Amino acid sequence: MGPPSFRVGGRTRRGDAALATDDARINDRIRARQVRLIGADGSQLGVKALPEALTIARESGLDLVEVAANADPPVCKIMDFGKYKYEQDQRRKESRKKASNVVIKEMKFRPKIDEHDYDTKMKHVERFLDEGSKVKLTIMFRGREMAHPELGRRILERVAERVAEIAVIESAPKQDGRNMTMVLNPIRKPKAKQAAQASSA
């Protein structure tokens, strides 16, 4: 029979686990009399009395961390807990940073926009997309213009066709009260990142 599988922190693996670092029991905080011990390299060391497991961890200059408190006996792993917690914190920060880096710019058009205004606004749209931002296009209808939604749809289709090489339609045109909206998602890396990668190559 192989080593037990256990689930902690939303991930199941053999011999390792992602644990919630804020409430994990370590070293002398562990209450069990005996534990199933996992070495720092992931090897199964079998069931050990808690004092023996603590001694093995301390002789390695590492911590004993309870990674599966509900198992019988609880599963503990030898690791550098401070380093592990730091790496987990860094991963969370990086994840939050990536989530917050998604920028959505908005560009508004009128159904009967003239060519000069259209070209000016399109230059902004293309710049936003080149910078890696999503772009929300909004057609604003007034009065009798509401009776001709096809005018707004025609503009949105024209915009999408012009930027087809640098963006895809993430959200198709839809009517929202007096407005019609569509969202474009860039498909190329931002120019600033491309330049940075080229200079470091």
* pTM greater than the 0.75 cutoff: no
Q: Give 107-138 as a DSSP string.
A: EEE-TT--HHHHHHHHHHHHHHHHTT-EEEEE
Question: Domain end: 53, 73, 95, which one?
Answer: 95
pLDDT score at 176: 85
Give the pLDDT of residue 91: 81
- Answer yes or no: do 40 and 106 share one domain: no
* One domain, residues 80 and 51: yes
Closest CA to 109 of 96, 99, 118, 100: 118
Predicted confidence at residue 189, as pLDDT, reads: 66
Rounded distance, CA 42 to CA 27, Å?
18
Q: Which letter does DSSP use for residue 3 in this model?
A: P
Find the domain containing 38 and state its range: 5-95
CATH of the domain at 46: 3.10.20.80
Domain termination residue (choose one: 95, 117, 147): 95
Residues 118 and 196 in one domain: yes
Judgement on whether residues 77 and 116 belong to the same structural domain of the protein: no
Low-confidence ranges of the chain (pLDDT < 50): 1-18, 20, 195, 198
pLDDT at 17: 39
